Amino acid sequence: MQTLAGVHIRIPPQTSETRSLVALGPERVRGAINVYMWADVLHELMRAASRRPDVMQTAILVGNVCAGPAERFLEVRGYLDLDRYDDALDFARNINEEWTTLVNRAQRFGERMSILGWAAMRADENRLERDLQLAHRSFFNLPYQLLLTINPKSEEVALYGFDETSHLVQVGFQLVVDKA
């Protein structure tokens, strides 16, 4: 695999005999990057959220920033540090102290992965609340970084990213499902 300044050069995942793509969320948002998330990553996070629906849990999303033939895209390939917090501000206080360690761990995770964002799992309406926005903009403010919200009670999932005007908006993504 070839990389160019932290960007992996490859073709985006495609439907084949062994793999399917399932579109989730709204249609493409202008200025938002295409996102591919492996199904096993989402299923593991949803399972973890359902085990403790009474507390907020977070995870750091890791993967690759890729350049394909037509445009850049993201591949969410895994996650780090499934932790419990009182709220998003408590998460922000703790991550501030551990940021350098997290970056180093992401790069050692595999294929020199990058931090692509984070997941917030908590039982409330699946909406972008102010505390989530503040935590996201404080630590995950690169144009491609994402916020995945999971409501363990309703099993609703939403993915947020930056649009062309740097607003945090709900974006769609492709779930990559390996056929068994």
For the chain, domains (ranges, CATH) are 16-178 (3.40.140.10)
Q: How far apart are CA 49 and CA 58, in angstroms?
A: 9
Query: 37 vs 54, 74, 141, CA distance in Å?
Result: 26, 8, 20
The full length of the chain comes to: 180
Integer-rounded Cα radius of gyration of the chain: 16
Q: What is the pTM of this model?
A: 0.87
pLDDT in tens, 124-175: 755 678 888 888 998 898 989 999 999 998 889 999 998 888 889 999 999 9
The mean-pLDDT minimum among 14-23, 39-48, 117-126 falls in: 117-126
Residue with tokens 């300044």: 5
pLDDT band at 2 (very low <50, low <70, confident <90, very high): very low
pLDDT in tens, 77-128: 999 877 888 777 788 878 877 777 777 777 776 667 888 999 999 877 556 7
Q: How far apart are CA 24 and CA 66, in angstroms?
A: 20
**121 close to 152: Cβ distance less than 8 angstroms:** yes
pLDDT band at 176 (very low <50, low <70, confident <90, very high): very high
